[in-house]
Structure formats: structure tokens, C-alpha cells
Chain A
Amino acid sequence: MSSFEPIAIIARLTLREAFRRRLLWVLVGLTALIVVLTWWAFGRIAEASPITGAVQILGVSQVTVMLAFMFSFVLAMTAVFAGSPAIGPDIENGLLLAMLARPIRRSEVMLGRWFGLAVVLVVYALVAGYLELGAVVLATGYAPVDPLMAPLYLAGESLILLTLAIVLSTRVASVAGGAVAVVGYGLAWMAGVMGGVGEAFHNDLLRWAGILARLVLPSDVLWRGSAGALSPPDSTLGAAGVNAAIYRFSPFSGTAPGLPWLAWSIVWVVGALALGIVLLRRREL
């Protein structure tokens, strides 16, 4: 059984490394830049056409979701780039040998790495997400359906990709593991789009393909939740002459995932970490 003290030691080490290798500073700088640019760009949109009518609100919502998609992509890449070298290189260069000769288990090293990077990603996702959203609201007055939940879903999505990257890093070289995680992220997103099309047009094959893909990698479930949370209310869509049911299945919209999918996302992360621990335990150092 793992105890939390050694996990906390490795998590703190990981956080210090992120700080010392300037990952945190880079993220802070990028966040500040993006927030300022977001505030400026949305301010110009509002100047060009006051956001009062349904069509204008719909337009701003789409740009907001696009912005969130970009942020989701940045988060996903950050998770993959931080997670894929988390274990493998430390084994290959011998760094783990000296550490594992101490009273610490491989599982604790892996969980500590995961916790440390998870803290970085979640804090980044929430701080940057809320600041960007705040800039949009401040500049345009646009009020999405559930603005508080959107960054939380994005943070969850980044944790899923971080988990995938770390699990891969127990057995696969960093570059290969990172590539697999990025491709997995892209495929999951595409499968979500196809699943949405299947829902909209009652095509069972596409719908089930989408569901299967979400079961295998539930990152798109959370992205869809975020996009849905940033969408306008149904009343606004109706006033703009848009069928809300169809709108929800567009690649840049979505619906709240619901408890079963949220529960599955948590189970998936826990299960993947357990698999990673087994893989790491069986790896020869």
C-alpha cells in the first residue's frame, strides 16, 4: 500500500522542477498575454456591433467556444508534453535508481509525479480559464449557460490526457508516448464530432462509435461539457432561429456530460493510473 508522505515528496519535487524549469513562468506569461488579447479582441467585436440581439449573442458565443477550444488544445498539449517524459527518461538515465533505493515504491513515484503535474495543470486551467472568461464577459457582457463549470471541465480534460501520457511514459519513449497521446486526443475529438452527427441524424453506427470512443478516452466528454457550458441558453438560440438540439451537436458546442460520464471519467483516470502502476512495477530498471 502506498502512503501519502512519499507521494507528497515526489509531488513537491515535481512542482519545484516545473517552477525551476520555468514551466510555471511560461504558463503565467502566456496566460497574461492571452487574457489581454482576449479582452482587446472581444472589446473590438463589441465596439463593431453591440452584443444585444440574439444573432450577435450567438456570434460571440461561437467565438468564445472557439477560444475555449484553442485553450483546450493548449491544455492538452501542455498535459502531454509534461506527462510523456515524467517516468521513462528518469528510468533511462538512471535517476530513478538512486531514488528507488530509498524507502519509496514505484507506485508512489508515479502517483507523486501525477499529483505534481495535475496541480500545475488544474491551477493553470482554472486561473487562465476564469480570467479569459472574465475578459469576455467584461468586454461583451455575454453570459454563457454555465461559466463556472467550463474551466472545470477543461481542467478535467487535461487530467485525462496527463494520465494517458504518464501511463504511456512507463513503457514507451517520450516522443512516441507523446505522439500517441496527441493522436488519441485528436481521434477522441473527431469521434465526438462523428458521434454528434450520429445523434443529430439518428445514425446508430456513428452514435455508438462516438460512445465507444468516449469510453476508451473520455477527453471529448469533458470538452463537450465545456463547450456546452459556454453556449448561449436555448431561449437565445430560439430567438436567433437556431434549432437548439441540432446546435448542441456541432463540433463547437455540446452538452453537460451528466453524472454517468463524469463518474466514468474518474473511474477511467483511476483505472489508467492503476494500469500505469502495474506497467511500471513490471518494468526492469
Chain B
Amino acid sequence: MASQVPSAATTTAAAGEAASAVAKSSRGEPAIETRELRKEYGRILALAGLTMTVPRGEVFGFLGPNGAGKTTAVKLLLGLSKPTAGEGRVLGAPLGDVEPRRRIGYLPELFRYQGWMSAREVLALHCELARLPRAEWEPEIRAALELVGLTDRADSRTETFSKGMQQRLGLGVALLGRPDLVVLDEPTSALDPVGRQDVRAIIGALRDRGTTVFLNSHLLTEVERVCDRVAIVDRGRVVAELSMAELTRESGVGIRVGGPDGIGREVAARYGRIRLDGEWLYVDSIAEAEVPDLVAELVARGAAIHAVVPTRHSLEERFMSLLATPPDVGDTAEPVAEAGGQLVAEPVTEAGGEPGAADGAEAAAGKGRP
């Protein structure tokens, strides 16, 4: 796949602006805004009360474990399903409004296109459905094929495509006509590592040109690499919403400490949240300036310091710790509160005491990016 946004996109700029005339009045509004969006399928609660805001021009990661309600949320945002309660706006229009869909590109999780059509024909069909001016179809299609690396198979029937090729085609379909908002539902589920890297490059290029990207995924490393902001959803609710900058600011320190039993824990607990893993004592949420004081106090209390390593949270650690937090019972559960951009401290845990901490040392030393 090419890593550049299609050059044909520039040819569509004028038409895109014309098509976006309606949208100009709502330019200041977020791309997506929902309030207590709820969806029930019969007696099954799929979404308990989704409240979130996606600013324009951001790459927004929507994370959650399987069954958390991510795809349901996407369907509600695109008007493919009606909410049981709550409200929301997409590109300034109420949910379910047909008009904004001219400016939205969507790659479904379950991607399937007419098997009797060629890739070129599928793209042409979506140009027509998106009501792009006929003159733009050819350059848009050519650019999309090039972008997703399907130029050589443009005239092959899609039923002969592998899953990965179909997903590439779906990505090309989603990017037709310079959409203002691109919704990608697990966009790399069928791709090989090279394909995933290409998708990351495409998402980066979309951000550069100011397109809002709503990325629904459970691949945390992928999200961490491309997103500006993430919402973590669990059991149908957003349990945390934070920017990647906030996440990376959450630093900590790992200290390999020996000496009198329990002295390390006793001292370090006053500086931040602690985790233990063998000889390693991890102190989260400690201010960088406090680290020398901590080390000095430990030495003064007779501890032997073998190593001091700065750590910072990976998205995976944060994700796992949030999901490991016992939920409130019932659907009245409130999201984990944020205070000044920081999530409220979780209970002190020891390595092995929670799913995410089982590989705590590895996470801190390796994935924790010291």
C-alpha cells in the first residue's frame, strides 16, 4: 500500500468543499458528541450510557475488550442502529440523519462487498452512493486503488480476494471523496504486519490533512501508535477518556531494592502507588523531582539500591488496570472519575494479584518504555 493520502484527493477538494457547505456552520462542533447513548437488544444491554466527545481533526481510539459495545456504538453513530435512549451528534447533525453520511467514510468490522463486482466497480458504486460528481470517480478510484495496493487487481472480482485484500478494498472505499470523518472498525483484523504498518501510515496522513478518524480497535499497540486520544469502554460505558499525552505524562520509577524486609514498600507507599515484583519495586504516579528524595530516604533507612529505572505507563497497562477495576454492579455504574486529567488512583496491588500485573516486571522494564 502506498503511504500517502491519494493525490486525487486534491482534485476533489473543490467538490468536497461544496459538499461540505452544510457542514461549515457546524465546523466548530466536535466531530462526534454523544450523551448517555444506550442500546438494548431485547433484554441484552449492549451499551449502558455512552458519553464522549471526539474533537475534529483528531485520531480517536475507541478501545475495549470483546463484547464491550464498541461495534454497537459505531452502528449508532452511523445511523445503522437506533439508540434505545440518549442522544448524539455526528458532524453537527443528529444521529440517524442521512446527510452527514456524504462526508463519512466507514470500514465495517464485517467487511464484504459484491463478489460479482471487480474492485474498481465496488469503488465506483460507492462513489455513486456517496453522490460524488461523476468527473471525480475515475481519479478517486485510481487513487484509492493505489493507496491500498490493489491497482494490479483492480479488475478482479472481489470474490477472488483474500480477506486481507477485501479489507484493503474496504479501506479504499472508506476513503473515497475526502470524508471529514473516517470510522474504522477493527481496520487491521485481517492484515499482515506490513498491511498494518500501511494502515498506520494512512491514518497518520489522514490526521495530517485534518480528517477526524474514529478508530475502533482492541489492538492496543496499534492504537497507542496512531491515536491522539482514546476512550476505553467496558460493559457498555466509557471508563476512561484520556489523551496519549496525558498517558505518557504518567511516569513512574522501578527500583531494585534490597535490605530490611518491607522497608522499601513502607517508604515508597508515601510517594505513589506501588507494585512489587521480586526484588523490583515499582512506584507509579511519582513526580520526577521526588525520585532522588525517595532514593535518599530508602538509603537512609538501610535499603540497598541496585538499580533505579524510570518507567512510564503503556496504554496496555492502563487498559488492563482499568478493566481490572471491579465494576459497580448494574448499569448505573459510573465511569472511573478523572481528576485534573489524571485517573483516580487505583488500589495498591501486587504483581500477580491482577490480570494486568502478571507480567508486571516485563511491562515495566520492557513494555513500560523506561
Contact = CB atoms under 8 A, between A and B. Distances in A.
B142 interface: no
A101 B97 CA distance: 11
Contacts of A97: 80, 106, 108, 110
Contact of A95 (B75, B113, B183): B113
Given A17-B116, A102-B101, A285 B130 contact: no
Interface in A88-130: 93-95, 97-105
Contact of A102 (B113, B114, B129): B129
B256 to A, nearest CB: 52
A104 B106 contact: no
A94 B110 contact: yes
Nearest to A100: B80
Range for the number of chain B residues in contact with chain A:
20 to 34
B98 interface: yes
A103 B75 contact: no
Contacts of A6: 129
A5 B102 CA distance: 14
A102 B112 contact: no
Nearest to A98: B108
B126 interface: yes
A200 interface: no
Interface string A17-59: 1001100000000000000000000000000000000000000
Contacts of A101: 78-80, 101, 104, 106, 108, 183
Contacts of A95: 112-114
Contact of B99 (A98, A100, A103): A103
A98 B170 contact: yes
Interface in B85-141: 98-99, 101-102, 104, 106-108, 110-114, 116-117, 125-126, 128-131
Contact of B128 (A9, A20, A98, A105): A9
A247 B79 CA distance: 57
A99 B112 CA distance: 10
A9 B116 CA distance: 17
B131 A284 contact: no
A95 B98 CA distance: 18
A177 B352 CA distance: 54
B129 A9 contact: yes
- Ordered nearest first, which 8 A-B pairs have the shortest CB separation? A94-B110, A102-B129, A101-B106, A97-B108, A94-B112, A103-B101, A103-B98, A20-B116
Given A5-B131, A104-B101, 16 more contacts: A9-B125, A13-B114, A17-B114, A21-B116, A93-B110, A95-B114, A97-B80, A97-B108, A97-B110, A98-B111, A100-B78, A101-B101, A103-B98, A103-B101, A103-B102, A284-B81
